[in-house]
Amino acid sequence: MQKAPHAAYTEMENHVKHFMNTINNSLPNPEGVAKVIYRAANDKSGRLHYSPYGEAVFFLHAILPDRLWRTLVESIMLGKN
């Protein structure tokens, strides 16, 4: 897929690329994912979500109002303070 670069979006694109690279570099290795899969497969609680890198994201998403959650995600992805 090709994109048509536009100067108005260059800064935003760079922030999103940096964010995605940071996320990709922080993902767990295959053994970490396998442990989470094993835990989920053997859990009797009926729980639906398991995270290989912690539960904080699920917790924040659950307790924050949608508008605040989206603002937080946008500010992190776009490097806003």
Alpha helices in 1-81 (DSSP H): 10-26, 30-42, 56-63, 66-78
Quick one: which of 49, 53, 31 has its CA closest to 40?
49
Query: Is 64 a residue whose pLDDT tops 90?
Result: yes
pTM: 0.57
**How many other CB atoms are found less than 10 A from the CB of residue 53?**
13
Does residue 77 contact residue 15 with C-beta atoms inside 8 Å?
yes
Quick: pLDDT tens for 35-44: 989 999 999 9
d(CA 55, CA 62): 11
79: nearest Cα among 35, 14, 15? 15
For residue range 4-32, what is the model confidence (pLDDT) as tens digits? Answer: 788 888 888 888 888 888 888 888 889 98
Average pLDDT, the chain: 85
